[in-house]
Amino acid sequence: MKRSAKMQSGFLALGAVLAASALSAHASGITPREMADALHSVMAADRAVYTRLIVNRLQNEEKIIKASEHWKDDKALVLPAQMFRFGAEEVAKSKPNFSYSLLSLWPVNKQNAAKTPVEKEGLDFVAKNPGKNFYKEETLGKKTYFTAVYADTAIAPACVTCHNNHKDTPRTDFKIGDVMGGVVLRIPINR
């Protein structure tokens, strides 16, 4: 269990490094799209590694420990979506010049539903266009953002089983490779 906590804190520390790198890259003339794509590639890699090598292996292959929505009470691993959210929250503490979240058109947790028209449009686009990303500018309040949406796909049996069997799921027919939601990345644009 202590090893799991160390792995989780390692992923969170990586988020802080990402935030610093993103700020320096933006200052050096990299476009918001290039920065969003670079950030997403690191996030996607971390998410895939955690899902496949930690959760899927320990829960489904070796049956050592399960992942649970109620991980503290169940003495379990955090779910991949929770791990992603915890990383986003940790990065936000450093007040970086970007934000990210994991949202879905079919959220198990209602707080992960799309809220803005651009989020809804982006999630719909990536669900209908596998392999393609969505990019658009949006204004929230008085700020303009470059918003990127990347498909979040079911990469392991743990993803499909959790979503299809959850008591609050609005959809029960996910298969490996299906788009389950999307990573929404926002970078402020100076105008």
Mean pLDDT (whole number) for 99-122: 93
pLDDT for res 27? 54
Contact 57, 51 (CB under 8 A): no
User: Which spans in the chain are helix H?
Assistant: 2-27, 32-49, 71-74, 80-93, 117-128, 157-165
Q: What is the pTM of this model?
A: 0.72
* Calpha distance 41→171 (Å, rounded): 27
Compute φ and ψ for 101, nearest 5 degrees.
-155, 165
The helix/strand/coil state of 128 is helix
The 10 Å CB-count burial string (b at 16+, else e) for 145-172 is bbbbbbbbbbbbebbbbbbeeeeeeeee
Angle formed by the axes of helices 80-93 and 2-27, nearest 10°: 50
Mean pLDDT (whole number) for 75-84: 75
pLDDT for res 49? 74
% of the chain exceeding 70 in pLDDT: 74
For residue range 8-19, list pLDDT tens digits in order.
444 444 444 444
As for how many domains the chain has, the answer is 1
pLDDT for res 64? 63
User: Pick the residue with more confidence: 123 or 35?
Assistant: 123
Residues 6+ apart with CB under 8 A from 111: none
Domain extent, residue 97, equals: 2-189
pLDDT for res 81? 79
User: Pick the residue with more confidence: 61 or 46?
Assistant: 46
Question: Is residue 77 scored above 50 in pLDDT?
Answer: yes
pLDDT for res 121? 98
Angle formed by the axes of helices 32-49 and 80-93, nearest 10°: 130
Mean pLDDT (whole number) for 166-178: 84
pLDDT for res 67? 63
* Calpha distance 41→164 (Å, rounded): 26
Q: Chain-wide mean pLDDT for the chain?
A: 79
pLDDT for res 2? 47
pLDDT for res 117? 97
pLDDT for res 17? 45
The helix/strand/coil state of 159 is helix
Angle formed by the axes of helices 32-49 and 2-27, nearest 10°: 170
Residues 6+ apart with CB under 8 A from 29: none
